[in-house]
């Protein structure tokens, strides 16, 4: 069980660990897996939240808006979102 947990990079909970154990021929339920995980001290690591890594203090100017003044209908036709004749 420790090997499976390590292979999952400490991210699999009892439900996901139970399936490969059953495929390996071990008759075991989710609650038993959970108890064994607690006994072995295996705790699941939570995924870290995505953090933005944008430098907002740069000296570059904003990009020019090439679509300013172009109607939505023209954009739909130009990018294939609408056939000519639709609104």
Give domain limits for the chain.
2-40
pTM of the model: 0.49
Sequence-distant (6+) residues with CB within 8 A of 5 are: 12, 17, 37, 42
Amino acid 49: pLDDT: 79
Low-confidence stretches of the chain (pLDDT beneath 50): none
Quote the percentage of the chain above a pLDDT of 70.
Answer: 93
Tens of pLDDT, residue by residue over 40-64, are 998 888 877 787 777 777 787 878 8
CA distance 70 to 66: 9
């Amino acid at each position: 069980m420790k090997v499976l947990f390590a292979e999952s990079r400490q991210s699999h909970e009892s439900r996901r660990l139970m399936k490969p154990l059953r495929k390996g021929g071990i008759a075991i339920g989710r609650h038993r897996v959970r108890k064994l995980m607690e006994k072995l001290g295996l705790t699941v690591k939570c995924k870290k939240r995505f953090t933005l890594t944008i430098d907002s203090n740069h000296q570059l100017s904003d990009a020019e808006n090439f679509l300013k003044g172009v109607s939505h209908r023209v954009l739909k036709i130009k990018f294939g979102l609408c056939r000519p004749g639709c609104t």
